[in-house]
Chain A
Amino acid sequence: MALVSDGAFIADEWRRLADEESLPGAGKVIVSLGRLPAALEDARLTALGVYVANTTDPKALAPHFSRLALIDIAFPAFTDGRGFSLARLLRREGFVGELRASGRLTPDQYLHAIGGGFDTIEIPDELAAHHGEANWAKARQARSLSYQRGVAGGASILERRRKGVA
């Protein structure tokens, strides 16, 4: 797996735990949603992340935000855009930790992910070989302007116009 952050491939400090693996005593681990209640009870785990389907109800996760450092949203297909809406809703509910998109996303979707509130994108190694770091770095700069807030350079075109007028 390769992890994209700020247009570069970085080392992943998190470990995604299979359900049959036992909880480790320390370290950053990502557990499935089903296993989250048990993991939350485990006081040894200081850094906890959860791996969720893109159909998850954001309100179900909200009570645990203070204990969650990472939410990892699965993209079952790169053309399945539900994860973009879920990310936006999690941010709206107040999640401030790391939002990760996992799946076969391409660099061409990087700005969509950033616009939705994602911090990192995790892709399979063979995809990373195919879409190298330079592609991601370039894609991140593909647009300096957007009609929506937060996608490219923060303010939307509408907000820039307002400033220009004021």
Chain B
Amino acid sequence: MTRAVDPKFSPKVLLASDLAEGDVVFLGADGWERGLSRAKIAYDAAEAAALDAAGKAAVASNRVVDAYLVDVFVDAAGAPTPLHFREKFRAAGPSVRRDLGKQAWLQGAGNR
């Protein structure tokens, strides 16, 4: 699943907040996704720049707010995990309420 990667480049996904609902969303292959697992991963600077540009366009068109690139670790199966704890929480939900946020939704819907 994983591609040949530039070892000096940390893979990235694009994260933002949905304007109307406030939910955390990730840019995927077919638009904005609620689950990190469906995020499109940038493996080099050019792909990251494309994600970033798409984010700026989505902010300008008032679809999302505060779009930014997030460094991720990609496991053998190709699933991304944010490197920083802040974005780990954003991708999951409050650590003190496992029954709420994406972590609950992912479990409930079996949507992985």
A–B interface present (Cβ within 8 A): no
Q: Which residues of A are at the interface with B, using a C-beta cutoff of 8 A?
A: none
Q: Which residues of B are at the interface with A, using a C-beta cutoff of 8 A?
A: none
